[in-house]
Amino acid sequence: MSPKNHLLLLNPWAYDFTAYNFWLRPLGLLYLAGIIKQYTDFDLDFIDCLDCSQIDGVYHFRPKERPDGRSSFFKEEVSKPELLRHIPRKFCRYGLPYNQVESILEQIPPPAAVLLTCTLTYWYPGVQAAVELIRKKFGGVPVILGGVYATLCADHARSQSGADVVLTGPGENQILLALKEITGRDQVKAVDDLPVFPDFDSLPSPAYELSHNTSILALMTSRGCPFHCTYCASRLLCQQFEQRNPEKVVAEIMYFWRTLGTEQIAFYDDALLINKDRHLIKILEALARLKPGLRFHTPNGLHPREIDPVLARWLKACGFDSLFLSLESSNTAWLAETGAKVKPEEVARALNYLKEAGFKGSQISVYLLVGLPGQDKKQVIDSIEFVRSLGARPRLAYFSPVPGTADWSRLLASGHLKSDSDPLLQNKLAFTYFWSQFTPEDLDEIKKKAAGKNES
Ligand code: B12
The DSSP result for 23-91, as a single string, is: S---HHHHHHHHHHHHHB--EEEEEETT-GGG--GGG-----B-TTS-BPPPEEE-PPPGGGTTS-S--
Higher local confidence (pLDDT), 363 or 440: 363
The enclosing domain of 442 has a CATH number of 3.20.20.70
Main-chain dihedrals φ then ψ at residue 424, nearest 5 degrees: -60, -30
Single residue among 187, 203, 234 that ends a domain in this structure: 187
Any ligand 1 atom below 6 A from CB of 234:
yes
Residue 371 — very low, low, confident or very high, per pLDDT cuts 50/70/90?
confident
Amino acid 335: pLDDT = 80
**Of 41-55, 284-298, 361-375, which gets the smallest average pLDDT?**
361-375
Residue 3 — very low, low, confident or very high, per pLDDT cuts 50/70/90?
low
Average pLDDT of the segment spanning 64-75: 92
Any ligand 1 atom below 6 A from CB of 324:
no
**Any idea what the Cα angle at residue 368 is, between residues 406 and 218, rounded to 5°?**
85
Contact partners, residue 153, CB within 8 Å, separation at least 6: 121, 124, 403, 423
Residues 148 and 169: their CA atoms lie apart, in Å, by: 8
Q: Is residue 199 part of a domain?
A: no
Any ligand 1 atom below 6 A from CB of 400:
yes
Amino acid 341: pLDDT = 77
Protein residue with its CA nearest to atom 56 in ligand 1: 234
Q: SS3 breakdown of the chain: % helix, strand, coil, rounded to 5?
A: 45, 15, 40
* Total domains in the fold of the chain: 2
- Sign for the CA dihedral angle at 389, 391, 396, 401 comes to negative
**Class of residue 137 by CB neighbours under 10 A (exposed 0-12, middle 13-18, buried 19+):** middle
Do both 164 and 228 map to the same domain? no
Which atom of ligand 1 lies closest to the CA of 152? 84
H helix runs in 318-376, sequence order? 332-338, 344-356
Protein residue with its CA nearest to atom 39 in ligand 1: 147
Residues 164 and 113: their CA atoms lie apart, in Å, by: 10
Q: At 296, which helix (H) or strand (E)?
A: strand 295-297
Task: Kindly state the percentage of the chain with pLDDT values over 90.
Answer: 82
Mean pLDDT of the chain: 93
Q: At 218, which helix (H) or strand (E)?
A: strand 216-219
Mutate to test the pocket of ligand 1, among 9, 70, 115, 119 (most ligand atoms within 8 A of CB): 119
Ligand 1 mean position to 119 CA, how many Å? 5
Which atom of ligand 1 lies closest to the CA of 398? 71
Do both 177 and 244 map to the same domain? no
Do both 350 and 392 map to the same domain? yes
Protein residue with its CA nearest to atom 15 in ligand 1: 300
Q: Answer yes or no: is pLDDT of 180 > 80.
A: yes
Do both 316 and 180 map to the same domain? no
Ligand 1 mean position to 358 CA, how many Å? 32
Any ligand 1 atom below 6 A from CB of 298:
no
Please give the residue range of the domain that contains residue 379.
214-399+436-451
Do both 175 and 258 map to the same domain? no
* Cβ(139)–Cβ(127) below 8 Å: no
Ligand 1 mean position to 121 CA, how many Å? 9
Residues 68 and 296: their CA atoms lie apart, in Å, by: 9
Residue 434 — very low, low, confident or very high, per pLDDT cuts 50/70/90?
confident
Which atom of ligand 1 lies closest to the CA of 121? 84
Any ligand 1 atom below 6 A from CB of 172:
yes
Amino acid 424: pLDDT = 97
Any ligand 1 atom below 6 A from CB of 311:
no
Residue 160 — very low, low, confident or very high, per pLDDT cuts 50/70/90?
very high
Do both 95 and 239 map to the same domain? no
Do both 348 and 242 map to the same domain? yes
Main-chain dihedrals φ then ψ at residue 324, nearest 5 degrees: -120, 125
Do both 101 and 142 map to the same domain? yes
Return the number of other C-beta atoms located less than 10 Å from residue 224's C-beta. Answer: 18
Do both 183 and 228 map to the same domain? no
Residue 143, beta-bridge partner list: 114
Ligand 1 mean position to 223 CA, how many Å? 11
Do both 245 and 375 map to the same domain? yes
The enclosing domain of 175 has a CATH number of 3.40.50.280
Residue 2 — very low, low, confident or very high, per pLDDT cuts 50/70/90?
low
Amino acid 455: pLDDT = 43
Which atom of ligand 1 lies closest to the CA of 151? 37
Do both 55 and 147 map to the same domain? yes
